[in-house]
Structure 1
Amino acid sequence: MTHSTASEEAIAVVRRNTEEVQGGGNFDIFDELFADDFVDHTPQPNCTPDKDGARALYHVLRAAFPDFHANIHWQVADGDLVTTYKTYRGTHEGVFLGVPPTGRKIHFETVDAMRVRGGKIVEHWGVANLFSLMQQLGAFPAGGTKA
């Protein structure tokens, strides 16, 4: 397999996860896309850094934002490592990080990198703008502070 082919296949796996599992709520293919020894190097609050933690996070997001989905702005791969810049969107209809449903439309940006081996996601690193999300939910003041 060439470097280019490996990159294209890795992008397809990551895109499937973003569109079908996260965005579509199709948890039937979660095990197909994630390796049993998956490691999340940057787990979200209250999540374990493993496959079960990723699955639990996706369930929490779908419960809090039933229409949760991502707009992928760009993806690039270097061999088996795929970096994605995307904006998540949804409507807050369930509890999220202790915040009761507000009915508000939300959006927040994320950059993540996922390593794909043997057609499965084996590692993840990511940065999500959760501060912006929590501001939109009213958990933090939206304005800046004056010094």
Structure 2
Amino acid sequence: MTSQNLPATVAHAFADLMNGHDPDAVDGFVAEDYVNHNAWTDDGREANRALWTGWFAAFPDTEVTLEDVLVDGDRVAGRFTYRATFQGPFMGLPPTGRPVVMHSIDIWRVVDGMAVEHWDQLDTDRFLAQLTGEDGGRGPGA
């Protein structure tokens, strides 16, 4: 197995996609028939590309930190912190210019160096509260 086939590479490739603001980077690590167990997007590489294209339109200054990577067999888990400014429409919400922080734990099943399946846990309520200003003005650091 080469280092490019190690499952952990998927977590690093995802962080690179986010920090490079490059939705087309999915071609290098997301399988065409990718199964995404996430309510925010459909299955498939193209749906994943569309998700990140929309994300970067709303949050063009996104910075992602890969906090941890764990590998067990064909599974890789990554813990991520996202920091950005809400600068474009997102999920029907108008941009506010507010800074936001989101955290996720993502798990991928990897076959031949490509992510074929994905699960995640997001701090969605806190993230949405930051977008709408319903966080009581505490902002992302609170």
What's the TM-score once normalised by structure 1's chain length? Answer: 0.83
What fraction of aligned residue pairs are identical, expressed as a percent? 33
Check the 8 A contact 2:31/2:44 in 1, yes or no: no
Q: Give me the whole-angstrom Cα distance separating, in 1, the residues matched to 2:43 and 2:7.
A: 21
**Runs of 4+ with deviation above 6 angstroms:** none
Match of 1:118 in 2: 112
1:30 aligns with 2:30: no
**SS of structure 1 residue aligned to 2:7:** helix
Give me the whole-angstrom Cα distance separating, in 2, the residues matched to 1:69 and 1:39.
25
Give a deviation string over 1:1-25, Cα, whole Å, max 9, x none: 4xxx78x811122211222x12212
Deviation at 1:58, TM superposition (A): 0.8
Q: State the distance in 2 between where 1:69 and 1:115 align.
A: 24
Using the alignment, how far apart are the partners of 2:128 and 2:10 within structure 1?
29
Give 1:76's aligned residue: 70
Extract unaligned runs of 5+ from structure 2. Answer: 137-142
TM-score relative to the length of structure 2: 0.85
1:142 aligns with 2:135: yes
* Matched residue, 2:15: 18
CA drift at 1:38: 0.7
Cα pair distance change 1:114/1:142, threshold 3 Å: same
Structure 1, unpaired ranges of 5+: none
1:56 to 35, 50, 56: 50
Query: CA RMSD for the aligned pairs?
Result: 2.0
Deviation at 1:68, TM superposition (A): 1.3
Give the match for residue 9 of structure 1: 6
1:28 deviation in Å?
Answer: 3.8
